[in-house]
Amino acid sequence: MTISIDFGTSNTVVARWNQALQQPETLKLPGLSTISTQNPPLIPSLLYVEDAAVSRVILGQQVRDKGLDLNADSRFFRNFKRGIGTSVQGFLPEIDGQIVTFERVGEWFLNQVVNS
């Protein structure tokens, strides 16, 4: 199945072409998407690093459901898309012995979305 991903700073949307209906449809990814009657399924562009050494992360709605977005924690990332590809990235945390760059956070995020 071919999918399209709109990787946004605040939210991410995954869609595919519905051959039967001849139109695009937004996909709900269980655990990752937030569901609203007024909006299509959106994945909050949030990521929490459980273990950087083995690339174990939580993302999307799961971060909110666990309340991991409520505290100031170096393991929590939001708005990370803005830092991808920039030469000045500011403070880069070391988590579990690994320097975590915005590119790495983006890679973790997109890999999980694609593999869901």
Given this model, what pLDDT does residue 2 score?
84
Residue 88 has pLDDT above 80, yes or no: no
Q: What is the mean pLDDT of residues 68-80?
A: 93
Q: What percent of the chain has pLDDT over 70?
A: 98
> Taking 80 as the threshold, does the pLDDT of residue 95 lie above it?
yes
Identify the domain containing residue 22 by its residue range: 3-114
- Report residue 63's pLDDT band, with 50, 70 and 90 as the boundaries: very high
Q: Region 80-98: what's the mean pLDDT? A: 87
Task: Please give the full DSSP string across 1-65, using - where no structure is assigned.
Answer: --EEEEE-SSEEEEEEEETTTTEEEEPP-TTT-B--SSS--BEE-EEEEEEGGGTEEEETHHHHH
Per-residue pLDDT band at 34 (split at 50, 70, 90)? very high
In this model, does residue 24 exceed pLDDT 80? yes
Question: Considering its fold, how many domains does the chain have in total?
Answer: 1
Q: In this predicted model, which residue has the larger pLDDT, 91 or 89?
A: 91
